Amino acid sequence: MRGEWRRSTPWRLAPLALLLSACAAPFAASRAPSPVPAATHTPSIPTSAANTYADAKLGFRITLPAGWAAQPEPGQRAGPSSSAVTLVDTQHPGTFVLLAILRGPTMPAAFAQRGPATARIGSYPAFIADTSAQLGRVPCLIRLFLAQTDYAVAEECATDAPTHAAQLEQTLATYQPPAPGYTPPAAPPQPPQQTCADVLRASGYDPTHLAWGHTLATPTATSPAGGWDTLRHGVYICNNHGSTDPYLFQCTELVNRYDWEQWALPRFTDHSELYFDYYASGAQHPGQVRTLFPAGTYALASDASQAPSAFAPHPGDLLVFQDVNNARQGWTSGIRAGTLGHVALITGVDATHVYVAQENYNQTQYFLALPLTHTATGWRITDLSGLPNRIVRGWIHFTTEPS
C-alpha cells in the first residue's frame, strides 16, 4: 500500500461517559481525560523484511502498512479452522486492526446467506457492517469478506475511523489464502496471555502511573464462587474502579478478550445489550452476533422469563442482560438512552446456579453465582444486580466451543 497509514485516535479517547455499576455506555457524552503517555509498545512477533504477515496456523498472508507489525492469536483452545491476528501501528500505541478468520467448507454457504455482496475487498465479495458511536464506545469500521473458504472479519475502532476506510480496505485487499496443500503445524505457537498491565500498555497507558487497572483475578483463579470453575482456565480480570477510560475495563472488554484469546473469535463492537436480538423503534432487530458471525457458528437461547429456552446454559456462553420493558412484544428487551446493559461469561453450571465471570460489576463479585431454575418453558436465570427493569435476555453459545 502506498503512502502512510494515518493514525487512528485510540479507543481511550472515545467521547463516552463511564458507568461503574453496569456495562453499556450511555448516549450522553463527556470527554475522557488523556492518559499519561506510555512508551511505544513494539509487538514481540516480527514480520518478514517485506512486511508480509504469514499466519502459522492457517497459512494466510497479508501485507502490512509501513511501520505496522502483527501479533498472532491462534486461540489457546481453538480448533484447526480459526485463527486471528492483531495488526498494530508500532509508532502509535492504541492503534490497531483486528482480523479473525473462520475457515471451512460451510463458509461460502454461510456467507451467501447474507444475500448479494454489497462491496468488494480487492477481488473478494464483501459486506460493510460499520457501527456508530451512538451504539458503541466509538465508531468502528467492520469489513466481512470471503476468500475461498475463509470467512474474514476485520475491525478498526477509533473516533476518526470513518476517514480510514479506504486505507483499511487497501490492506485487506492484500489478503491471500494459503496455497493448495498447506499443512498447518500440529501445535501453532501460542502468545502469552495479556495481563491487565499488557492491555493498558497496548491502549497507550503507563500502568505504573494509574490507580486503577490492577488485577482482580488471574486466569487460574478458583475463588470466589468457584473462580473459573468448569472452564478451568480463563483470562485476567481487571479493576476499573476510578477509571477515566470509557472502555477499559468494562464488561464487554472481558468477554471480548476471552473469546479472542481462547477461541480466536471476532470481537463485538456494540453495547452489550445489542449482542442479542433486541426490540426498539417498534420492531425487532438482529443482535450483532448475527451481523458479525457466519450462520451455523452460534446459537441463541432466550431466558425462560422471555421466551422458551432453546437449550440450557453452558460454560463459555455469553450471558446478556437488558433493561427495557416492551410488554406488547411478549419479552423484555431493547435499547434507549440511559439503559444499562451488561454481559458476563458463564464459567460453570449446576442444578441450582450458573456461575459467571465479569468486569465492571463491583470490586468483589467479579465471580458470582446466579440462581438457576428449570421451568416448563426452559431455564431461567435470576439477575441479582437490583437495577430496576434489568432482566436476563438470554445467552449466546458459539459452536466452535464444546457443548
CA 227/CA 218 separation, integer angstroms: 9
Clarify whether residues 201 and 168 are in a common domain: no
| pLDDT interval class at 10 (50, 70, 90) | very low
Clarify whether residues 212 and 126 are in a common domain: no
Give yes or no for a contact between 23 and 252, defined as CB atoms under 8 angstroms apart: yes
112 membership: H or E segment, kind and range = helix 107-112
Position 178 in a domain: no
Clarify whether residues 73 and 20 are in a common domain: yes
Clarify whether residues 110 and 49 are in a common domain: yes
pLDDT of res. 214: 94
Clarify whether residues 252 and 376 are in a common domain: yes
CA 252/CA 231 separation, integer angstroms: 19
Percent of the chain with pLDDT over 70: 81
Query: Can you read off the three cell numbers belonging to residue 200?
Result: 493498558
Q: How far is CA 330 from CA 308, 320, 391, in A?
A: 11, 18, 13
pLDDT at 21 over 60: no
Percent of the chain with pLDDT over 90: 57
Domain boundary among 156, 172, 188: 172
Clarify whether residues 152 and 202 are in a common domain: no
Give the angle subtended at the CA of 235 by the CAs of 275 and 262, to the nearest 5°.
Answer: 65
pLDDT at 374 over 70: yes
Clarify whether residues 156 and 230 are in a common domain: no
Tens digits of per-residue pLDDT, 233-290? 999 999 998 888 767 898 999 999 999 999 999 999 988 888 988 777 667 788 999 9
Position 180 in a domain: no
Give yes or no for a contact between 41 and 202, defined as CB atoms under 8 angstroms apart: yes
Clarify whether residues 116 and 202 are in a common domain: no
DSSP structure class, residue 12? G
pLDDT at 43 over 80: no
pLDDT of res. 182: 87
Position 184 in a domain: no
Position 188 in a domain: no
C-alpha dihedral, 335 to 341 to 345 to 350, nearest 10° = -90
Clarify whether residues 307 and 378 are in a common domain: yes
| pLDDT interval class at 223 (50, 70, 90) | very high
Clarify whether residues 96 and 19 are in a common domain: yes
Give yes or no for a contact between 52 and 64, defined as CB atoms under 8 angstroms apart: yes
Mean pLDDT of the residues in the chain: 83
Least confident of 200-204, 233-237, 396-400: 200-204
pLDDT of res. 8: 35
pLDDT of res. 305: 85
85 membership: H or E segment, kind and range = strand 82-89
Clarify whether residues 208 and 80 are in a common domain: no
| pLDDT interval class at 145 (50, 70, 90) | very high
62 membership: H or E segment, kind and range = strand 61-63
Tens digits of per-residue pLDDT, 318-343? 999 987 655 455 555 556 555 668 99
pLDDT at 4 over 50: no
Position 186 in a domain: no
pLDDT of res. 136: 72
State whether residue 170 is helix, strand or coil. helix
Q: What is the pTM of this model?
A: 0.86
The better pLDDT of the pair 322, 146 is held by: 146
Position 364 in a domain: yes
CATH number at residue 212: 3.90.1720.10
Q: Domain tally for the chain?
A: 2
CATH number at residue 152: 3.40.1000
| pLDDT interval class at 1 (50, 70, 90) | very low
Clarify whether residues 145 and 211 are in a common domain: no
Position 70 in a domain: yes
* Boundaries of domain holding 126: 11-172
The better pLDDT of the pair 17, 377 is held by: 377
Position 182 in a domain: no
| pLDDT interval class at 314 (50, 70, 90) | very high
- Kindly report whether the peptide bond that precedes residue 388 is cis, defined as omega within 30 degrees of 0: no
Query: Can you read off the three cell numbers belonging to residue 86?
Result: 492483531
Tens digits of per-residue pLDDT, 72-126? 999 999 999 999 999 998 887 678 899 999 999 999 999 999 999 999 999 999 9
pLDDT of res. 345: 98
